[in-house]
Amino acid sequence: MTSPANVVLVFLDPAFPDGRLADASRPQLLVTDQGATRGDGIFETMLAAGGTVRKIQAHLDRLAGSAVALDLAIPSEAEWRRAVTTAVSAHRAGHPAASAAEDELVVKLVVTRGPEGASAPTSWVQVSPVGAAGRRQRETGIDVILLDRGYDSDAAERAPWLLLGAKTLSYAVNMAALRYAHKQGADDVIFTSTDGRVLEGPTSTVLMAHVGTSDDGTTVKRLITPQLDSGILPGTSQGALFAAAKAAGWELGYGPLEPQDLLDADAVWLISSVRMLAPVNRIDGKEIGTPSVQKELTAELNELFAGIQ
């Protein structure tokens, strides 16, 4: 569990070009801040390994896209990069990792609309250690359940004010879905639309794979993810892994996917920036693929993912 003692906060402040370090054990937000009162804001979560933040440009690009969707003014990329460097350096100096394998940090960028009546947003970087649960799920895999998200797959296009493709602070529904899954004995959730399409996890992107043989006997590996126009968040990890897999000879595909497609797959994963690839062992209690094939494919994709910066 993350405690204030091992969290570093750096606020983006015009008076501090490299960011303003703040005490995480002391109150820092006004009670009128609209991030707290309304969930009106955006965020990104990244992984720093060995002091290097992975896929930072992709996350900054997605943060900017979310800001546009919310009509929210945010600091420049240069300001974010300086604040991230300050925060990661401060955490590593104050909390050295026990080993190179454990030198992983969660780096979160947060922007709120600020206090009621304010003319500028509240923006900060938060750095903390990667939790043990996420590390464990990379190795052991997860059990998931399918849950209806309550929207059809055209809702994002029909009702852009729902902000389905933005990464907002309004995560109460996502957290409620995870709590419900835990009560059912599962680890995570895959959302489906009311018209039966596979969407995403509360904090992750869905991937699935098929392995086949071509006419000349060559092994063909195909990596598939749901369509982005179904109202899901574009996954930075999925995008980076797809690029690496394509270069390695994998075929790529984008839905539409239905739950049966997942059940028929040779392997399924939930992928995110911090947990990375979490193999899905069971969906609604049904075994997915063949354990040996899943293990082999997971190892191959993990190797590709490890090379992504």
**pLDDT tens, 261-278?**
999 999 999 999 999 999
Instruction: Kindly report the CATH number that applies to the domain delimited by 136-306.
Output: 3.20.10.10
CB atoms within 10 A of CB 254: 13
pLDDT digits (tens, 9 = 90+) for 189-233: 999 999 999 999 999 999 999 998 887 878 889 999 999 888 899
Provide the residue-wise pLDDT of the chain in tens; the chain has 309 residues: 566 789 999 999 999 999 999 999 999 999 999 999 999 999 999 999 999 999 999 999 999 999 999 999 999 999 999 999 999 999 999 999 888 888 999 999 999 999 998 888 999 999 999 988 888 999 999 999 999 999 999 998 899 989 888 999 999 999 999 999 999 999 999 999 999 999 999 999 999 999 988 878 788 899 999 998 888 999 999 999 999 999 999 999 998 999 999 999 999 999 999 999 999 999 999 999 988 899 999 999 999 998 887
Domain ranges of the chain: 4-130, 136-306
| CA gap 92, 130 in Å, rounded | 13
For residues 105 and 51, what is the distance between their CA atoms, to the nearest angstrom? 8
Residue 123 is predicted with a pLDDT of 97
CATH number of 4-130: 3.30.470.10
Q: Is 276 exposed, middle or buried (0-12, 13-18, 19+ CB in 10 A)?
A: buried
d(Cα 109, Cα 45) in Å, to the nearest integer? 6
